[in-house]
Amino acid sequence: MDETLTPYSGLSLWHATAGDLTPRAGLEGDTTADVAIVGGGLTGLWTAWYLLDRDPGLRVVVLEKEIAGFGASGRNGGWLSALFPRSTASLERAHGRNQALALRRAMIATIAEVGSVTAAMGLDCDFTREGTVAYARSGVQERAARAEIAEAAHYGVDEIAWRGAEEVRASGARGAAFDRNCASVHPAKLVRGLASALEARGARILEGTAVTSVSPGRVETEHGVVSADRVVVATEGYTATFPATHRRILPLYSLMIATEPLPPEFWESTGLRRGQTFTDYRHLLIYGQRTADDRFAFGGRGARYHWGSAIRAEYDRAPRVFEHLRRTLAELFPGSADAQITHRWGGPLGVPRDWHASVTYDPASRIGRAGGYVGDGLSTTNLAGRTLADLLTGVDSELTRLPWVGHSSPDWEPEPLRFLGANAGMLAMAAADVEERITGRSSVIAKVMGPLVGH
């Protein structure tokens, strides 16, 4: 595949600044492996990394339709957070307090794990642990922030504290909840660097190799068959493109913009440290970071779900959503209003029907799977990779006993119910924000929607 024919550098700011994106060679004919991994994103690559930690002699093959890091792993907001799609209270209701807290502790520990492993491999991915600032820009949002802080104190695991208006400088902010358990990274540098480090350890990464079907001991592609003792499927939002798993994951688009680098005096006015991430308490999610080269990388939801779980390159660009993001960023930081927007991009993330990420391994079929991160996957993929490595090698560990292991989410409804429900949910979150602005009270709409989105 010629880079001039598929300009991967145009996928996002991250790809444009990640270095060499020349595709690796693909599969040519049949081959064998101990473990075949479908998907060259972070779940697949971290699984390969930890498998080789446990057994350096394993023959590991990673199969990727495009290039490693093509999908959400290379395009996301760069939040290496402890966020899990389901809240702690929701996890407690489903699995009990001890199990919920075990998963929370594992997620928090994952941040340090990624930092230490990337440092040990000498990978410069702009890892910076400066925490997350969640602005409260109204009375309703302040109450939500203080409730989150109280919930964190109740469980005693997460570290979230209130910062007053004098400490935060977003326009109109009454204060903010500060969560120290978040780092930021350059996601494409992370995933591309991890792929190169894996090759140095002997893993084969076959790019430009589209998988057509997976069955026990066999992965079929357009260019040959890989026979393997064990198989891992790590395709996240693209899981919907396979007929056998078409309704297992809903591909929901999230879009981002990036500004030109901004001067030191501007950043001084914002109070944001380099590498710090930020959001607020609106229901239609936004997320951002101050990058290592002093840009805003800023994203949010709002793009509609497409009929039949379709994934197409043209869906990565939605001018209406990009304009909404530009206006929202200027509302938060008026000094950025005239900044040039240098990059616009998007892509699908994977949403399970119950918003509950999972890791599974079937000893009978010897097929493992992980995903359903709902956009909180940058660190969760590492935890999934370590867990899958234990499951595939028969290790009984604290990780394999976490409550997301073996969890089975129900399938999404068939069309047209899926289309109507997904887009109605998006509209409901936007309506909830309007409701709160008008009434000054917590949204009734959001309360009704809460159980459906993991709260």
Q: Which residues of 52-71 are buried (b: 16+ CB within 10 A; e: fewer)?
A: beeeeebebbbbbbbbbbbb
Q: Which residues pair with 220 in a beta bridge?
A: 213, 225
pLDDT of residue 400: 98
pLDDT of residue 454: 66
What is the CA 139 to chain-centroid distance, rounded? Answer: 30
pLDDT of residue 6: 53
Alpha carbon distances (Å) from 79 to 4, 133, 224 = 30, 12, 37
Q: Which residues pair with 60 in a beta bridge?
A: 35
pLDDT of residue 5: 40
pLDDT of residue 3: 39
Helix-then-strand count for the chain, H and E: 12, 18
CA distance 109 to 395: 20
Q: DSSP assignment of 261-322, as one string?
A: P--HHHHHHHTPPTT-EEEES-SS-EEEEE-TTS-EEEEE--PPPPGGG---GGGG--HHHH
DSSP state of 107: H
- Mean pLDDT of successive 10-residue segments in the chain (455 residues)? 61 97 97 98 98 97 98 98 97 98 98 98 97 97 97 97 92 95 98 98 98 98 97 98 96 98 97 97 96 98 95 96 97 97 98 97 98 97 98 98 98 97 93 92 88 69
pLDDT of residue 359: 98
Q: Which residues pair with 289 in a beta bridge?
A: 277, 297
Report the SS3 class of residue 228: strand
Report whether 13 contacts 295 (CB < 8 A): yes
pLDDT of residue 380: 98
